[in-house]
Chains A and B, each alone.
Chain A
């Protein structure tokens, strides 16, 4: 019974994914316009908002923006189609030129010449009148062709036959326009309904997810459009200078085809290449066209886009490729156009919804492992050099205190956790402690003292709560306090830190900072705090519980009471608290 339940539980996500794919496929007639509308809403939304900012009501703003956008698309479409027809009509004039070049390219092989001849024969047959064909068939002794009586068609019938073909894309376009308008006008209502659907208890996460999705997709679409316009302009200018006919057309085609990941620019380039092949006598023009597309695309993809998008769309390169294949298989060529923005939405959804976290892990380009985990993993592999490289690379351009807070302390905590659970053998444990010790000493010594450092009077005793990991953390703590001018001492582990501090003549304005790495950080810190209070000295006590978990304010308050200390979780907080304590003492 239990096994059945377990297998049912493990099968649930697979069934869910299968149902989702089936819905995406079978409802594509409705979902494709919806997805396009979503994309347009992201693209046009900021413009509508801007118009609203100029005190134009939302509905007229949305209608105006949509009308202008539709008119632009119609004009561009009209011009592009016209130019295409013109080229299609003129290309046959250059057929000989193309054949000559292709034959020259193939080295004038017999097979290729035969192929060209066959194609030409086929063309002649297709263009020949039907009567000739029947006569030829009869002459060849073949069976007579079946004859179909075709009625003379009136205008209404023609409209019915061709209207269906014409109405389908027009209907889709209309549906997209209606959806887009609805989304532009009613975006808050839509968002609220989605929030309600996803559950009010996750309001914060859902709101964040939607804001993030909106921001990233809007940014992606706008940036992509701007970059593609730049790409198209360069292509237009380059082709115009090279003398390729219809250069504006190829520029516009390049703008739109570049929305197709990976295959868009080559397809866009292939058309003017063929035209160049047709109109030019030599090879200079066609090859220049290839070079123009290749160089422009390489520069834009490798320099301009990373600069504009930051780390592109937040998707990994593999995810973009796989999503392109997935959406193309599901929705055809339109799926290819929509693949990247749709995948951005899925990735963002995964980032903010715990149940869908796998989507962000699979699709996102953020490191799957945190810096501290990578660092710890290298230490576990007993690769000190690599661990040091990781620390230097990840910590580059960051203050040392941040590197220690975000990489070294969490790694120490992981080592402690593994040691306590028996997953870390003595050899590795010793290696990790020694290595971190060495890194801390080396990096701390290499850090220059601040120029404006002023000597402080408040003494700080950094006391490890329990073991070697706490000792290293105490030394880190003391280092940053010394950097700020505080006379700080980092003690090794002792049986009675209270007695030690008493021996050193601690005073009420001295500060004791207890350093405790999890697990059992609060328990160990409590013991040390009590020992210090029992020794008869009453310094200010700060308990550094080096946990990366964000404890709730209520828990922090409980810890503060039970430890009789100021509770902090980062080295930066320790420095801030000691500075505050000094001000109070003054």
Chain B
């Protein structure tokens, strides 16, 4: 079963989750959600998702992203997505997620936007 690789690093108050692999139904989507939940449990509230290594996301992958966003928001946190590939960007725009989750072309831009937030 397809899984997704994730790696967390910190930049000031912002936690960055870099993903590698396709965000699809099953272990990949579940693994992604677990990684975000672990970050929330660790007390991280400003999270940037680096999607540079995510070439594709299906409807279940987008669903996992939506639920993660909702959980972060419910915990009083903020989420931003950086370096999205065009295919994934199109999906996020079509599903209206870009209306609630900001997208940035680069990781530093995303970090900056969250650093300045209260």
Contact = CB atoms under 8 A, between A and B. Distances in A.
Given A459-B95, A459-B96, A504 B66 contact: yes
B48 interface: no
B26 A504 contact: no
Interface string A426-451: 00000000100110110011000000
A441 B58 contact: yes
B17 interface: no
A488 B95 CA distance: 6
B42 interface: no
B60 A492 contact: yes
Interface in A143-192: none
B10 interface: no
| B30, B58, B69, B100: most-surrounded residue (chain A CB, <10 A) | B58
A364 B90 CA distance: 53
B64 interface: yes
A471 B70 CA distance: 18
A478 B25 CA distance: 11
Query: What is the predominant secondary structure among interface residues of chain A facing chain B?
Result: helix
B74 to A, nearest CB: 7
Contacts of B58: 441, 444-445, 475, 479, 490
Given A437-B26, A487-B94, A487-B96, A475 B67 contact: no
A511 interface: no
B63 A490 contact: yes
A505 B60 contact: no
A444 B96 CA distance: 22
Given A441-B2, A478-B60, A482-B59, A503 B96 contact: no
Given A479-B58, A499-B70, A504-B70, A491 B63 contact: yes
A434 B95 contact: no
A500 B59 contact: no
Interface string B91-104: 00011110110000
A462 interface: yes
Interface in B78-108: 94-97, 99-100
Given A434-B1, A489-B95, A492-B33, A475 B70 contact: no
Contacts, number: 85
Contacts of B30: 492
B24 interface: yes
| B26, B60, B99: most-surrounded residue (chain A CB, <10 A) | B60
Given A500-B67, A504-B100, A505-B100, A437 B74 contact: no
Interface string A473-506: 0110011011000011111101000011001110
A455 interface: yes
B29 interface: yes
A475 B25 contact: yes
| B2, B26, B59, B63: most-surrounded residue (chain A CB, <10 A) | B59
B111 interface: no
B54 interface: no
A503 B70 CA distance: 6
A490 B59 contact: yes
B66 A500 contact: yes
Nearest to B69: A503
A437 B25 contact: yes
Contact of B26 (A441, A482, A500, A505): A441
B59 A488 contact: yes
Contacts of A474: 60, 63
B110 interface: no
A441 B59 contact: no
B63 A441 contact: no
B56 to A, nearest CB: 9
A339 B100 CA distance: 73
Nearest to B24: A441
B49 interface: no
B25 A490 contact: yes
A462 B61 CA distance: 12
A399 to B, nearest CB: 19
B101 to A, nearest CB: 9
B54 to A, nearest CB: 15
Contacts of A455: 94
A494 B67 contact: yes
B26 A434 contact: yes
Interface string B28-50: 01100100000000000000000
Nearest to A434: B1
B25 A491 contact: no
Contact of B96 (A482, A490, A504): A504
B20 to A, nearest CB: 18
28 contacts: A434-B1, A437-B26, A438-B1, A438-B26, A440-B25, A441-B2, A441-B26, A444-B58, A445-B24, A471-B60, A474-B63, A475-B60, A482-B59, A488-B95, A489-B62, A489-B66, A490-B62, A491-B67, A492-B30, A492-B33, A492-B60, A492-B67, A500-B67, A503-B69, A503-B70, A503-B73, A504-B66, A504-B100
Given A479-B59, A481-B59, A504-B96, 14 more contacts: A437-B25, A438-B26, A441-B25, A444-B58, A445-B58, A475-B58, A475-B59, A482-B59, A489-B63, A490-B60, A491-B66, A492-B64, A500-B66, A504-B97
Across the A-B interface, the 9 shortest Cβ-Cβ residue pairs: A478-B59, A487-B94, A491-B63, A437-B26, A490-B59, A487-B95, A490-B60, A503-B70, A475-B60
